[in-house]
Amino acid sequence: MRVRVSLLLGALLLASGSVHAFNLDLNKLIDIGKKTTDLKEVDEQGEAEIGNVSAAALLGAAPLVQNEKLQAYVNEVGLWLAMQTERPDLAWRFGVMDTDSVNAFAAPGGYVFITRGLLLRMRNEAELAGVLAHEIGHVLKRHHLVAIQKNAKSGLAANLLSMAVDNSSGGYGEWKKKAIGASTELYARGLDKEDEFEADRLGVVIAARAGYDPYGLPSVLQTLDGMNAQDGNLALLFKTHPAARQRLDLLDTAMAGSLDRYASQPVMKDRFEKIVGEYARKGK
C-alpha cells in the first residue's frame, strides 16, 4: 500500500506543475470522442484518457499542495475507501488542491481531488472519508461520462471531434487548450442533482464499509450549511451542487437509522489532527 501511494503521489506532484505532465494522446482522445455518444463503447482505457483531460483541467486551475506528507495521507485514506468498492483496480489517484475554494472533484478513471479550503474546515478523518467516498461514488457510477454523453453535441465529445480539424493544421497546443476548456466547462456547470444525491448515498455506505463513522459526510454538509452563503470561496460549490440542507434532508431519509449501528465506528480524530493540523500550523 505504501509503495503504491508513493508512486501515485509522485505522479500527481509532477502533474501539479503543468498540465503537460498528462499524456494526452490526440488520436486516442479523438477516437474516444467519436465513441462517447455510445457510452458502452468507452472502456476503462478510454475512461482513463478522458480522466486525464479532466484532471489536467482541474490542476491547471489550481495545482496540488506541495506537501508530500499531506498528499500521502489523503491518498492512503482514499485508496482504502476505493478498495471497498466494486472497482478497486482502477488507477485511483487522490490529491489536495492548493486553493481556498471549498470544494471537491472527481474525474473519470479514478481521479479524486479535495481543496485545501474544504480540508481545513474538517475536524476528523471520518469527515474526510465521507467526502472522498462521495467523489468515489461519482467515478463508480461514471457520472461525468454520462454527463458528457448527454451533452455530446455541445460538450466534450463534440469538441474532441472538431479539434481533429485544428490539429490537421498543426495546432496541437491549441487543441489541448480547447480540450481542457471543454472539460472545465463541465465542472463549472456541474452534474445533475440526482447524481449528487446518489453520490451522497454511496458515500455514507462506502465510508461505513471502510470502518468509519458513516456520519462523517453529513457532518461536513452541516458545516457547509452553517457557512455564509456570500463567502466567495463557496461560490462554485453552491453553483454546482444542491443546497447542503436539501442534501442533509435526503440523506436523513435514505439512511433512516439503517446505519446507526455503524455510528460507533471511529472518526480517527487524532490521526487527522496530527497530519492536517501540523500542515495548518506550518501555514500554506
pLDDT (tens digit, 9 = 90+) per residue, 104-144?
999 999 999 999 999 999 999 999 999 999 999 999 999 98
- State the pairing for strand pair 104-107/111-115: antiparallel
C-alpha dihedral, 104 to 56 to 11 to 220, nearest 10°: 0
Q: What is the pLDDT of residues 83-111, one digit of tens each?
A: 999 999 999 999 999 999 999 999 999 99
Residue type at 144 in one-letter notation: H
Q: Which of 118, 121, 105, 26 is nearest to 59 (CA)?
A: 105
Burial classification of residue 164, based on how many CB atoms lie within 10 Å of its CB (0-12 exposed, 13-18 middle, 19 or more buried): middle
| Cα–Cα distance, 120 to 98 (Å, whole number) | 11
Indicate the pTM of the whole model: 0.80
Buried/exposed 32-48: b ≥16 CB within 10 Å, e otherwise: bbebbbebeebeeebbb
DSSP state, 64? Answer: B
pLDDT over 90, % of the chain? 50
Q: Which of 127, 126, 43 is nearest to 90 (CA)?
A: 43
Backbone angles phi, psi at 89, to 5 degrees: -90, 0
**At 18, is the pLDDT very low, low, confident or very high (cuts 50, 70, 90)?**
very low
Arithmetic mean of pLDDT, 235-241: 82
